[in-house]
A and B are shown apart, each in its own frame.
Chain A
């Protein structure tokens, strides 16, 4: 039963990992003349943001809320992308924003978010805490110490009470012991009483509005335990006469990157065979993405994002809400509703699904003596951080003119840093047609974490610029990301 297709002659059939492309993104990619012009004018790499897609994504999460009759807020995790266009477009919707640094908070306020729609999370310095308290955003606290620091600031500066959430971690399950990765964030779920002591002591400075968790896991069972743990914590609050009304379950809803699950299965099987030495390597220097061969057996685990993820984003949230709470044996969504609790979510990646593309221009295409083909790009692995995030997904070739040689090409993608390790991805990428210098590779669906999250100016290479492409008056238009506002300046009409 040959799982990986291979021709008898030893010529390998292309192992595509075709990206899932929604209609709006597809339509933008069809503007190849505009895309090449933009790249020529603004340089490579170039981040292209499609802010209007965001509203649809927010609506999809909202639809799950209304299916479950739940109130609450969808907070966009700003850290997923630095773009202003996205934040401003989001300000025009009814969604909220989750900011994790002083500059992100300033950015959100400047984009038009009122404090009631902003949640400050993550590790915070004093300045961040002060601006959060001063403007009256909700502060999601990571520790008892942070709550005390915040209370002190509020008292010293005579500020109005600040709405706070408390992040919990270390939930314990009964019966089957579910272990979760240790988290550096949050207060142990056992120590809720300490948090409540602080809240009660500083009742003039802190107003507890809810509890939160975020688990870095795609596993539903762990999340059901955590969510039920939060319900227990809120019970404790009510016993002590406090009236918090919300649970924030963080993010981690995920994105389905690939169009075809069969390609993903075929690729991962082929990778396993390659690691075992049963077929030619599929990766640079035989990299195994976490798998290794020991005495003819596979060890390690495939350390990749599950790029084909049919249940992701809003559908994952829906499944979580339909899951039965392990102790109370009732669906979690029903329990939230029974208790009149609001549900808050903080998706980053999932809200930016289909919201952007990174364009990189092809500098050189060369065939090596050993038969490998190399495509050198004018960008580096930090500009398109597919590899860092373990997302395997093919770029789309944007040809300037018709391709010279039709037919697929298996290539390695080299970056522009003078570093051995600077490959955009360490796997051999199969492109449906061979690119030529000057062509563009479009890394689609990269707005969430894969665009500029870790872009640097190492070697004085520029961090790519960003443009917003938007549909207006029946045509695609564009502007620099920092120039974008949801009110579009209309061309003069006669």
Chain B
């Protein structure tokens, strides 16, 4: 395979059979369309390229900025494509909730505009949806933008009608599957693929998966939100079913751990929704059937999402010398010093004063002669052992004397013999009128 440019590598993704031992369906062959293998990492590469390609030449001549309302994969693909053609890219969003995607977009040189949150006090005149707000902004800017408009752009559907759908049929030896299951985001892929499959077999049963209302699954809309999407046509789907974030993560785990498929939550949701839907049908079947679902993107961008929802998946062994292992009794026994004693101790330069607060707070005001090691860094140092001699006199300082007492207790446990905590912290020090300096 030799290509002139990365965009030539978009599409023609493999269709891979899921091992029946994993899904447990007896009469249905379940295939995954591996859209995660597109060059920029997702199914959206197809739509992004299809929408932007016809406008590129003009946009490049005018130096337009590519702009799209997207919080994820479309933005990523457009940012890459824009960059390849010397154009700027701007993503407008009110729902970018995945930190890694934000970071990746910034890395790609994209500009991200987040729209304001809902007003606490109701303003009855403010009824604009994000897309309308964006149209207003584009109209107000007097040009200079190439807006791909993924939620209303027929080229989004067309990418799948002429690409994804026919590829599936070709890989199934010219036959359409009996069931097609897809998550509904912009509705572009499900609509386009469904149309292509139905050209071969009008009887294809199409299942659209939407997110449970109170859940957030990146790339999937809830049952109410799909109605905002211009490309969404309820007639496309024989069944619309709901999946939860838990379903999506369960499916993701099955795909990544057992199927060699590093799928993100959307793919996981599609797998889980597919198996759930097909299981009931499978029990009644007497002949073989075929089903296809789409694995939209890759898992790597969703670590924070997974960590937040399934922290137990990331359980790591405890690190040594951690304050987490201290008991209340340990902390109670930590040596402390009140402000009056401490003032004398400091004035006589009897030892090292370590201020555990943030650098900005330290720089603004601190005890003369103290050094600043912010608590998180101090904690890191202690994992490795004592950062000073075990008999070096040390006074630990934090805001109210709580953290410093914990670290004093930890240092004692680590064998340090001369550590104290400032009782009441730097707030007590200030309130006593003791001297604070800045540089």
Contact check, B118 vs A306: say whether CB atoms are below 8 A apart: yes
A440 to B331, CA, bound (A): 58
Q: Kindly list chain A residues whose C-beta atoms are within 8 Å of the C-beta of B240.
A: 1
Is B213 a contact of A339 with CB atoms below 8 Å? Answer: no
Q: Which residue of B lies closest to A296 (CB)?
A: B233
Instruction: Name the contact of A217 in the complex, choosing from B120, B129, B402 (C-beta under 8 A).
Output: B120
The complex places the Cα of A126 from the Cα of B402 at a distance, in Å, of 46
Q: Are A300 and B132 in contact (CB under 8 A)?
A: yes
A269 part of interface (Cβ distance < 8 Å) = yes
Of A218, A272, A290, A335, the contact of B224 (CB 8 Å cutoff): A272
Within the complex, what minimum Cβ distance (angstroms) separates A327 from chain B? 9
Q: Beta-carbon contacts of A1-43 to B below 8 Å, as 1s and 0s? A: 1010000000000000000000000000000000000000000
B227/A276 in contact, CB under 8 A: yes
| Cβ-based interface call for B284 (8 A) | no
A53 to chain B, nearest CB (A): 21
Task: Please name all residues of chain B whose beta carbon is closer than 8 Å to the beta carbon of A252 when the two chains form the complex.
Answer: 120-121
In the complex, the answer to whether B360 meets A177 with C-beta atoms within 8 Å is: no
Residues of B contacting A254 in the complex (Cβ-Cβ under 8 angstroms): 120
Confirm or deny: A176 has a beta carbon within 8 angstroms of a beta carbon on chain B.
Answer: yes
Shortest distance between the CB of B251 and any CB in chain A (Å):
18
Contact A217 B400 (CB under 8 A): no
Query: Known: A1-B240, A297-B230, A334-B358. Contact between A303 and B117, CB under 8 A?
Result: no
Contact of B119 among A181, A265, A276, A297 (CB under 8 A): A181
Complex partner residue of B114 from A176, A269, A305, CB under 8 angstroms: A176
Interface segment, B105-113, B198-206, B317-325, B334-342? B105-113
- Interface check A268, CB cutoff 8 A: yes
The distance in angstroms between the C-alpha atoms of A226 and B59, with both chains bound, is: 37
Taking CB atoms, residues of chain A closer than 8 Å to B228 are 297-299
How far apart sit A300 and B101, CA to CA, in the bound complex (Å)? 27
A340 and B117 contact, Cβ closer than 8 Å, known pairs A335-B358, A389-B122 = no
A217 touches B132 (CB 8 A): no
Find residues 256-309 in chain A having any chain B CB closer than 8 Å to their own CB: 261, 265, 268-269, 272, 276, 290, 296-301, 303-306
Q: Quick check: is A472 within 8 A (CB to CB) of the other chain?
A: no
Closest-by-CB residue of B relative to A175 is B106
Contact B430 A272 (CB under 8 A): no
Q: Give the size range of A's interface with the partner.
A: 35 or more
Distance between B94 CB and nearest chain A CB, rounded to angstroms: 9
CB of A269 within 8 A of CB of B223, answer yes
In contact, B229 and A69 (Cβ under 8 angstroms) = no
B116 touches A180 (CB 8 A): yes
Check if B239 sits within 8 Å of A299, measured CB to CB.
no
B21 on the A face (CB < 8 A): no
* Given A1-B239, A1-B242, A179 and B361 contact (CB-CB distance below 8 Å): no
Q: Is A219 an interface residue (CB 8 A)?
A: yes
* A108-B370 Cα distance, complex, nearest whole Å: 45
Asked if B227 contacts A179 (CB within 8 A), the reply is no
Complex contacts, B426 vs chain A, CB 8 Å? 340
Neighbour of B128 across the interface among A178, A238, A300, A304, CB < 8 A: A300
- Known contacts A69-B402, A235-B360, A390-B124: A176-B214 contact under CB 8 Å: no
Q: Mark B104-147, 1 if CB is under 8 A from A, else 0.
A: 00100001111111111110101111101000000000000000
> Is residue B96 contacting chain A, with contact meaning CB distance below 8 A?
yes
Interface pair B361/A217, CB less than 8 Å apart = no
* A222 with B227: CB separation less than 8 A: no
Cα–Cα distance between A306 and B240 once the two chains are bound (Å): 26
The interface residues of chain A lying within 8 Å CB-to-CB of B227 are 272, 276, 297-298
Q: Say yes or no: B112 contacts A176, CB within 8 Å.
A: yes
Q: Mark B81-114, 1 if CB is under 8 A from A, else 0.
A: 0000000000000001000001000100001111
- Most chain-B Cβ atoms within 10 A of its Cβ — which of A220, A298, A304, A305? A298
A78 shortest CB reach to chain B, Å:
15
- A3 vs B240: C-alpha distance when bound (angstroms): 10
Does B357 have its Cβ within 8 Å of any Cβ on chain A?
yes
Q: How far is the CA of A185 from the CA of B213 in the complex (A)?
A: 36
Is A338 in contact with chain B by the CB < 8 A criterion?
yes
CB distance from B189 to the nearest CB of A (A): 18
Q: A297-B232, A298-B227 are in contact. Are A176 and B96 (CB under 8 A)?
A: yes
15 other A-B residue contacts (CB within 8 Å) besides A1-B241, A177-B112, A299-B129: A175-B102, A176-B96, A178-B114, A179-B115, A217-B116, A219-B116, A222-B117, A235-B360, A268-B224, A272-B227, A276-B227, A300-B129, A301-B127, A330-B374, A335-B360
10 contacts between A and B (CB under 8 A): A1-B239, A71-B427, A177-B114, A181-B116, A221-B117, A231-B360, A297-B229, A297-B232, A328-B360, A389-B122
A residues in contact (CB < 8 Å) with B? 1, 3, 69, 71, 175-181, 216-222, 231, 235, 238, 251-252, 254, 261, 265, 268-269, 272, 276, 290, 296-301, 303-306, 328, 330, 334-335, 337-340, 388-390, 449
